[in-house]
Amino acid sequence: MSAKGPSKQNLAQAIYLAARESFSGLRVAHAGERFYYYALITTGEAHPPEPVAWSEESLLRVAGHSEEEARLLRWSYADSPYYGFMRDEFAHVRALFDLRPAMMADGGAVDCEYWDTEFSLRLSAMEYAMSKLDGEGFFGEGDARMDMVINVEVMPPDYTNVLRALRLNPIGALNRWLDEAAELDD
């Protein structure tokens, strides 16, 4: 740890381990479901991430038989029954984030350059964790990987979610997500 708290590498490793445990636990608890989306969700202040996932089966349960409802819910982290699944696995991550410099100074003012640097460090650590899981084949390989979207998303959504999705996924895997959920830069 440095004077500024845990390093990016320490954060990334902790996020990776927590995400692996959470997503693995989800697969065990819901064996047989066909997952198509895994993400880490954070705020516009880059607070500690929350895990989320969707499967075709969970979407059917939530949307019923309404195609319109399913279309609206397919990529909604907030409506997923698996939002925050095994969030206790992220306790160490939250503790490490608490040791990093605050994203808001007392009184609400913070230096923009500092804020941008800290924000980028936090998002980069989250992205690295998802990329490492993907590199291990956690989200599938070959054709199976093409049926999966992974991401690190900022909520409320903005165009940087698209940039991370493009870096984290094979382009063919993103066609539907880009069509239905991508926030494009104005």
Query: Would residue 133 count as lying in a domain?
Result: yes
Residues with pLDDT less than 50, the chain? 1-3
pLDDT of the residue at 112 = 82
Contact 70, 50 (CB under 8 A): no
Tens of pLDDT, residue by residue over 49-100, are 999 999 999 999 999 989 999 999 999 999 999 999 999 999 999 999 999 9
Token digits of residue 80: 């997923």
pLDDT of the residue at 3 = 47
Q: At what angle do helices 8-29 and 91-99 cross, to 10 degrees?
A: 160
Peptide bond connecting 156 to the previous residue in cis, omega within 30 degrees of 0:
yes
The sign of the CA dihedral 14, 20, 21, 26 is positive
pLDDT of the residue at 2 = 47
pLDDT of the residue at 183 = 82
Token digits of residue 125: 């650590």
Query: Would residue 185 count as lying in a domain?
Result: no
Query: Would residue 186 count as lying in a domain?
Result: no
Helix (H, G, I), strand (E, B) or coil at 151: strand
| pTM of the entire predicted model | 0.92
Query: Would residue 1 count as lying in a domain?
Result: no
> Which residue range is the domain that position 23 belongs to?
8-180
Distance CA 4, CA 77 (A): 31
